[in-house]
Structure 1
């Protein structure tokens, strides 16, 4: 499966870029799935709902299904967080998986960068970052795209993964 990442510091524009890339690449006829890493506890169901009650009662996995979609929730309890490769293995085959986060993993990435966040460039110390999508002009040893030029960023990613 082809994978490509979008990384960056908080408020750098990662999620907006991911959303635009999914729309752009799907619009070109490719199938895309996404993986999003969260650094905090999150919930996908609501207290009081049946699935929440099943999980709270101790179920390791709860699969919620309807005519339109299904969601599989897995409680790690005392297990370690799964590696990215283990999570990717759970996905159905698609043309491209876009990964938001997992900046320390070895897959190729584009960095979303906004100078106003006050954070430095991750790309300065990370050779897995193959390009930067920036809100300001930068002089780097790799391609720099305007953060809002989704079409050119998509062209670059698709070329990198062999889908151009």
Structure 2
């Protein structure tokens, strides 16, 4: 499976870029899945709902399904957080998996950057290009943060995928 990451510090524009890239890539006929790393506890269901009650009662996994979608919730309890590779193995095959976060993993990435945050660049060896709202003095390509088509072209070329 082809994987490409979008990384950057908080408020760098990662989620907006991910959303635009998913729309762009699917419009080009590619099947796309995403993985988003959260640095905090999160919940996809809510107190009082049946699935929440099942988990609260001690179920290790709860699969919630309808005719439109399903969601599998797995309680980690005392287990380690799954690695990106472990999570990728749970996805159905697609043309491209876009990953938001996991900046320390070695897969190819584009780094989102907004000057107003004042954050330094991550710019490690896995960052292949930058999407920024300002000029950057770096040794890799820099795209306007909103140049979604150009960024998609770069990612697809970097992965050797068709441009649709």
In structure 2, the partner of 1:118 is: 118
User: How do 1:1-150 residues align onto structure 2 when only pairs under 5 Å count?
Assistant: 1-123=1-123, 126-150=124-148
Partners of 2:50 and 2:159 lie apart in 1 by 41
Aligned residue pair count: 162
Partners of 2:122 and 2:132 lie apart in 1 by 12
- Runs of 5+ unmatched residues, structure 1: none
Partners of 1:122 and 1:115 lie apart in 2 by 14
- Runs of 5+ unmatched residues, structure 2: none
For the residue of structure 2 that corresponds to 1:130, the secondary structure is: strand
Partners of 1:51 and 1:2 lie apart in 2 by 33
* Divergent runs of 4+, >4 A: none
For the residue of structure 2 that corresponds to 1:132, the secondary structure is: strand
The correspondence for 1:154, drawn from 141, 152, 155, is 152
RMSD: 0.5
Partners of 1:161 and 1:86 lie apart in 2 by 21
TM-score relative to the length of structure 1: 0.98
